Amino acid sequence: MEVLKIATAGSVDDGKSTLIGRLLYDTKSLTSDKLEAIENKSKQLGYDYLDFSLATDGLVAEREQGITIDVAHIYFSTANKSYIIADTPGHVEYTRNMVTGASTSQVAIVLIDARKGVIEQTNRHFFINNLLRIKTVIVAINKMDLVDFSEERYNEIKADFEALMSKRDYQDQKITFIPVSALKGDNVVNKSEKTPWYNGETLLENLEGLDNQDIFNAGIPRFPVQYVIRPKTDEFHDFRGYAGKVYGGELSVGDDVVILPSQTKSKIKEIHFYDKKVQTASRRSSVLITLEDDVNISRGDMIVRANDLPVVDKQFTATISWMDSQNLKTGNKYVVQHGVNKVMAKVERIHHKINPDYSGVDDTVETLAINDIATVSFKLNKPIFYDAFKAHRTNGSFIIIDSKSNNTVGAGFIQ
């Protein structure tokens, strides 16, 4: 069964957790013991209605403060599909979590409070989803019950959001607007009788109808070697296979390939998936490849089709999202992890930083603070084999690791 990953974003009190709780409740994904816990807690807190956010806020501090701190993963399924929701908080200081959630998702739900309309946070959520080239965005205009399910208000917000869309960089994004009340359940799973003016799908109907082929960006096949398998047993005496995951497209037995960085040419001899041999390895499958020739390959090398070479270079420029409390400075050195490949990198230049309100750029900065997004050039100690992010979501992205703390301190999207 196909698994669809969804990132949700909204500001504090937009009702994001409630929306997720509602999705779980109306798809009957909440088990009776969990539901009972929510009922008891809601009663204990003196609420008039069930607080579904109690289903998702997992940490003590979150329940105390009534906010979502970290990315939580929530699971539900229908007869059609399995869904994973990456629930990310909307506070200013947690931009890094939004980027993280969006990086593994194919769909984003942006929540807007119908009373407040499009606010700076909405701008940020939309910008991040656009930066990460999330193909499908659902704008859920929530709390419609508090604006009397007004069509006029809905259209006003829609028009404001469309004004944001005109500024976007990634124009292929598909955007759908849905008026909902997560609290009362209107247009989430079940169609609302209170919005006769809305002829579109409910949120779940929309998710169910998404075409998988369309959502998963196809591209050129890339095979970064994760691990070399040499059994050294009597049965597989001279066996030498390259384990890895196929990204972007398919690889087949007989394909002419080039191994990077050595530029050696060979041909795919066999493709194994466990104890079976297959003719073609589809995208996102974890396989084992053997080659016709005896080539020296190690982890971090990349097998690509001979006529589809990526860029091989010791420098690149990327949009980066900085995630650490220690600032990034021009001249600093970090580890860049590009797929399974780790190299040393030096910050050559910060070209410009995107203003926090996305009104424009600041091209005079020398440092980046947590949650900043900027265009930065890096110089590497060894070449990597990359594609532009807009052409290849996997092979165009990387993470930045601080070699002192070992923390992941940033993520980047190669231009």
Partner 1 sequence: MKDTSNINPLENEAIYIMREVAAQFEKPVLLFSGGKDSITLVRLAQKAFYPAKIPFPLMHIDTGHNFPETIEFRDRLVKELGLELIVRNVQDSIDDGKVKEESGRYASRNQLQTTTLLDAIEEFKFDACIGGARRDEEKARAKERIFSVRDDFGQWDERNQRPELFDMLNGNIELGQNVRVFPISNWTELDVWSYIQKEEIEIPSIYFAHTRATFLRDGLIWSADDAVVYRDEEEEVVERIVRFRTVGDMSCTAAVLSEASDIVSVVQEIRDSSISERGARIDDKRSEAAMEKRKQQGYF
Cβ at position 367, least distance to partner 1 in Å:
20
The C-alpha angle with vertex 123 and arms to 118 and 128, in degrees rounded to 5, equals: 145
- Nearer of residues 102 and 180 to partner 1, judged by Cβ: 102
104 touches partner 1 (CB under 8 A): yes
273 touches partner 1 (CB under 8 A): yes
Q: Could you tell me the two tokens for 384? A: 């990597």
Length of the chain: 415
Q: 179: Cβ–Cβ under 8 A, 6 or more apart, which residues? A: 114, 141, 144, 149, 154, 186, 187, 192, 195, 198
Cβ proximity of 151 and 382 under 8 Å: no
Cβ at position 53, least distance to partner 1 in Å:
11
75 touches partner 1 (CB under 8 A): yes
Laid out side by side, the sheet with 174-179 consists of 72-77, 82-87, 3-9, 107-113, 136-142, 174-179
367 touches partner 1 (CB under 8 A): no
31 touches partner 1 (CB under 8 A): yes
Cα–Cα distances in angstroms (integers) from residue 1 to residues 30, 83, 203, 247, 305, in the given order? 21, 10, 20, 19, 29
Residue of the chain from 168, 299, 351, 352 that contacts partner 1 (CB under 8 A): 299
Q: What is the DSSP string of 229-246?
A: E---SSTTTT--EEEEE-
**Nearest Cα to 318, choosing from 340, 351, 362?**
351
- Nearer of residues 299 and 352 to partner 1, judged by Cβ: 299
Cβ proximity of 72 and 60 under 8 Å: no
Footprint (CB under 8 A) of partner 1, residues 162-221: 212-213, 216
Residue of the chain from 13, 43, 45, 61 that contacts partner 1 (CB under 8 A): 61
Footprint (CB under 8 A) of partner 1, residues 333-362: 335, 337, 339-340
- Nearer of residues 48 and 275 to partner 1, judged by Cβ: 275
56 touches partner 1 (CB under 8 A): yes
Cβ at position 383, least distance to partner 1 in Å:
18
- Nearer of residues 4 and 183 to partner 1, judged by Cβ: 4
Footprint (CB under 8 A) of partner 1, residues 223-262: 226-227, 229-233, 235-236, 239, 241, 243-245, 250
CA distance 223 to 242: 9
- Binding-site size for partner 1 (CB under 8 A) equals 82
